């Protein structure tokens, strides 16, 4: 079939016509267990009845008005987020990369506003992922993502994951912020240990540097806590979110504390679509469900079970699976070799997963996945291992 879409994706030769909960139905009528969920976006699975109702109701009232006016649905969601998290203020965007870029703007603008405009460099992990806009690809420090898109956007420094001496060396008087993913998603499901986050917070405080934790993928319940950094008790200054908060509807935001928010005066940043009533209404519905303690406890219990069982499969097939990585429902099976064929075999057996760096098979169930669906996935993974 001739396609008139640009060729910037390597798409699987499959299309879907319908989704329900953890499952997708292909156009030729086959049923797949969807453990991709739009890459951690459909946090409540497909066609959640409360989200359908929320979207339908709002669609009959008002879709879009512009940030020139007060948007009550956005006021409501921001208030809930502030009540529940470290944040004092929220700035809504439409996507993850917009949220990470806005986070960088907030950090720089803060130092500008206190008379330190040269304190503007952002220190990131090499081969991390902060999105695909021009600045975000240079923040990620990946050769592959930046190739051909020069000139290089200045202002970013990089250290290798785990290289603490290089991290300390690169922090200098011109560093405005350290920006890292609390759990690296695209980079291979690498969890930043709690003690690292604590030490990093101390280091940032000592050097008067801001801490930006990118929770676009690992946030909104994905880790079992509302934010992945909560377990460490660390308080970041700025947190970009997106993916899971819209439950499938495009929505992003930057959360920030009072101190840095004080610099974002009228006119410093804006978005035409960001925070529109339709997105806000859906965001409210997603937030109400996921922020409940009982919901998050359920994510913790079920994901622990899943991870334990996956480790048993790893122990049974140590020559195929090198490591089970992740926390909550942000899971990676690191294979010894390239994972392409393994992902294909899982798909042949009606389980959808997606790749991440370092030979990782990324597994992202909806947060409300049923135990029977986890067991189905385990059976398929076991079967593929046994014939691999
Ligand atoms: C997906 C992702 C982004 C980019 O989000 P988009 O909505 O694709 O722009 C940024 N940071 C992290 C950690 C992500 O996983």
In a domain, 11, yes or no: no
Q: Are residues 204 and 92 in the same domain?
A: yes
- Predicted local confidence at residue 175, as pLDDT: 98
- Predicted local confidence at residue 1, as pLDDT: 76
Give buried/exposed letters for 224-254 (b at 16+ CB in 10 A, else e).
bbbbbbbebebebbbbbbbbbbbbbbbbbbb
In a domain, 7, yes or no: no
In a domain, 177, yes or no: yes
Predicted TM-score of the model (pTM): 0.98
CA–centroid distance, residue 129 to ligand 1 (Å): 7
User: Considering Cα of 70, then 72, then 73, then 75, what sign does the dihedral take?
Assistant: positive
User: Considering Cα of 107, then 109, then 110, then 116, what sign does the dihedral take?
Assistant: positive
Query: Which one, of 190, 183, 180, 143, lies nearest residue 360 by Cα?
Result: 190
Q: Are residues 339 and 217 in the same domain?
A: no
3-state helix, strand, coil in the chain (%, to 5): 40, 20, 40
Q: Are residues 150 and 97 in the same domain?
A: yes
Question: Residue of the nearest CA to atom 15 in ligand 1?
Answer: 217
Distance CA 34, CA 29 (A): 15
Last residue of a domain, one of 290, 325, 359: 290
- Predicted local confidence at residue 18, as pLDDT: 98
Write out the chain's pLDDT in tens, 388 residues: 789 999 999 999 999 999 999 999 999 999 999 999 999 999 999 999 999 999 999 999 999 999 999 999 999 999 999 999 999 999 999 999 999 999 999 999 999 999 999 999 999 999 999 999 999 999 999 999 999 999 999 999 999 999 999 999 999 999 999 999 999 999 999 999 999 999 999 999 999 999 999 999 999 999 999 999 999 999 999 999 999 999 999 999 999 999 999 999 999 999 999 999 999 999 999 999 999 999 999 999 999 999 999 999 999 999 999 999 999 999 999 999 999 999 999 999 999 999 999 999 999 999 999 999 999 999 999 999 999 8
Q: Are residues 120 and 269 in the same domain?
A: yes
Question: Residue of the nearest CA to atom 11 in ligand 1?
Answer: 130
CA–centroid distance, residue 300 to ligand 1 (Å): 23
CA–centroid distance, residue 130 to ligand 1 (Å): 5
Q: Are residues 31 and 82 in the same domain?
A: no
Q: Which atom of ligand 1 is closest in space to residue 128's alpha carbon?
A: 13
In a domain, 223, yes or no: yes
Q: Which atom of ligand 1 is closest in space to residue 184's alpha carbon?
A: 13
Q: What CATH code is carried by the domain that includes residue 204?
A: 3.40.640.10
Q: Which atom of ligand 1 is closest in space to residue 186's alpha carbon?
A: 15
Distance CA 31, CA 57 (A): 30
- Predicted local confidence at residue 213, as pLDDT: 98
Strand 121-125 vs strand 330-335: parallel, antiparallel, or unpaired? unpaired
Token digits for 327?
């926390």
SS3 call for 227: coil
Instruction: Indicate the top mutation candidate among 36, 39, 243 to test ligand 1's pocket, ranked by most ligand atoms within 8 A of CB.
Output: 243
In a domain, 4, yes or no: no
In a domain, 32, yes or no: yes
Q: Are residues 282 and 298 in the same domain?
A: no
In a domain, 115, yes or no: yes
Distance CA 236, CA 183 (A): 14
Hunting for tokens 């390239």 — which residue is that? 338
Hunting for tokens 């060729």 — which residue is that? 7
In a domain, 3, yes or no: no
Q: Are residues 338 and 222 in the same domain?
A: no
Distance CA 154, CA 167 (A): 18
- Predicted local confidence at residue 140, as pLDDT: 96
- Predicted local confidence at residue 11, as pLDDT: 95
- Total count of domains within the chain: 2
Hunting for tokens 């947190």 — which residue is that? 239
Q: Are residues 271 and 364 in the same domain?
A: no
Question: Residue of the nearest CA to atom 10 in ligand 1?
Answer: 130
CA–centroid distance, residue 40 to ligand 1 (Å): 10
Q: Which domain holds residue 257?
A: 51-290
CA–centroid distance, residue 137 to ligand 1 (Å): 11
CA–centroid distance, residue 185 to ligand 1 (Å): 9
- Predicted local confidence at residue 24, as pLDDT: 98
Residues with CB under 6 A from ligand 1: 95-97, 100, 129-131, 181, 185-186, 214, 216-217, 242-243
CA–centroid distance, residue 319 to ligand 1 (Å): 32
Q: Are residues 44 and 55 in the same domain?
A: no
Q: Are residues 155 and 253 in the same domain?
A: yes
Burial class (CB within 10 angstroms; exposed 0-12, middle 13-18, buried 19+) of 305: middle
Last residue of a domain, one of 255, 272, 290: 290
Q: Are residues 76 and 221 in the same domain?
A: yes
Q: What CATH code is carried by the domain that includes residue 367?
A: 3.90.1150.10
Q: CB under 8 Å to 259, separation ≥6 — which residues?
A: 110, 237
Q: Are residues 351 and 272 in the same domain?
A: no
Last residue of a domain, one of 290, 306, 339: 290
């Amino acid at each position: 079939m001739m396609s008139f879409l640009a060729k910037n994706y390597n798409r699987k030769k499959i299309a879907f016509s319908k989704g329900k909960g953890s499952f997708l139905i292909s156009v030729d009528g086959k049923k797949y267990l969807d453990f991709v969920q739009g890459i951690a976006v459909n946090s409540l699975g497909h066609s959640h009845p409360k989200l359908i109702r929320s979207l339908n109701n709002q669609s009959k009232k008002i879709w879009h008005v512009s940030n020139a006016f007060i948007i009550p649905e956005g006021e409501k969601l921001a208030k809930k987020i502030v009540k529940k998290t470290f944040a004092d203020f929220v700035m809504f965007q439409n996507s993850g990369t917009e949220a990470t870029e806005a986070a960088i703007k907030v950090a720089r603008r803060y130092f500008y506003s206190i008379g330190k405009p040269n304190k503007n460099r952002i220190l990131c992990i090499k081969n991390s992922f902060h999105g695909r806009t021009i600045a975000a690809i240079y923040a990620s420090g990946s050769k592959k993502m930046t190739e051909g898109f020069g000139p290089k956007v200045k202002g970013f420094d990089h250290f290798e994951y785990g290289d603490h001496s290089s991290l300390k060396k690169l922090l200098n008087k011109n560093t405005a912020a350290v920006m890292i993913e609390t759990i690296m998603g695209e980079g291979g499901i690498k969890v930043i240990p709690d003690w690292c986050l604590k030490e990093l917070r101390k280091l940032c405080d000592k050097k008067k540097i801001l801490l930006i934790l990118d929770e676009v993928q690992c946030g909104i319940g994905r880790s079992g806590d509302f934010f992945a950094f909560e377990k460490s008790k660390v308080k970041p200054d700025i947190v970009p979110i997106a993916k899971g908060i819209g439950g499938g509807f495009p929505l992003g935001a930057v959360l920030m504390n009072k101190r840095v928010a004080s610099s974002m005066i009228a006119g410093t940043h804006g978005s035409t679509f960001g925070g529109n009533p339709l997105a806000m209404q859906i965001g409210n519905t997603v937030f109400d469900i996921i922020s409940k303690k009982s919901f998050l406890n359920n994510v913790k219990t079920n994901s622990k079970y899943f991870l334990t069982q996956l480790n048993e499969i790893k122990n049974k097939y140590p020559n195929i699976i090198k490591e089970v990585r992740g926390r909550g429902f942000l899971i990676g099976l690191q294979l010894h070799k390239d994972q392409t064929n393994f992902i294909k075999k899982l798909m042949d057996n009606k389980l959808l997963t997606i790749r991440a760096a370092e030979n990782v098979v990324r597994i992202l169930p909806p947060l409300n996945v049923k135990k029977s669906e986890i067991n189905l996935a385990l059976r398929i993974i076991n079967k593929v291992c046994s014939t691999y």
